[in-house]
Structure 1
């Protein structure tokens, strides 16, 4: 819930139903009368304008968009990404340790 910052502002509330993804509603209330000024259901959001994608931002970043499978995939992707600097440094150190090969003279 967000409270108004000015005299013309509105109260904003978002209601999410249980653990169901994308089962939420957003309301704007008049701060003096309590009347609902705006109501938006997730099903009414338009993907073309990006409102549905912005609503999925948290789920995309936490891996919950695909449920448990998504979280497992995100975990492995994060482990691979975290290992890249370490393995790159190990490869760099191993290259420095190698001695240059001696060329054999042809007689």
Structure 2
């Protein structure tokens, strides 16, 4: 699957995941009682809500992260003072890498 096809396949589920979280929502991973701050994270080219502390989610299913109004009780999120709503400023930044037209040829042309 090409990158653009993968992005297209993930775009709608990622948008649905973002829409589930409202202003002031925190989140928890299905099957866990720990409540995390919510931050947008880049995942395979789409932005999805995830634990602010970047704890592993135990799989690739970003839909396991659910909204809650319960207060944050994750030690890592609390120590880093991650509280409150997600915002574009919370998105991890990544610079584009311009490899130029010759990047596929490799060092030996």
TM-score band, normalised by the shorter chain?
Answer: under 0.3
Q: Which has the higher contact order (CA 8 A, sep 6+)?
A: 2
Q: TM-score, normalised by structure 2?
A: 0.25
Instruction: Please say which structure displays the higher CA radius of gyration.
Output: 1
Which has the larger share of helix? 1
Q: TM-score, normalised by structure 1?
A: 0.26
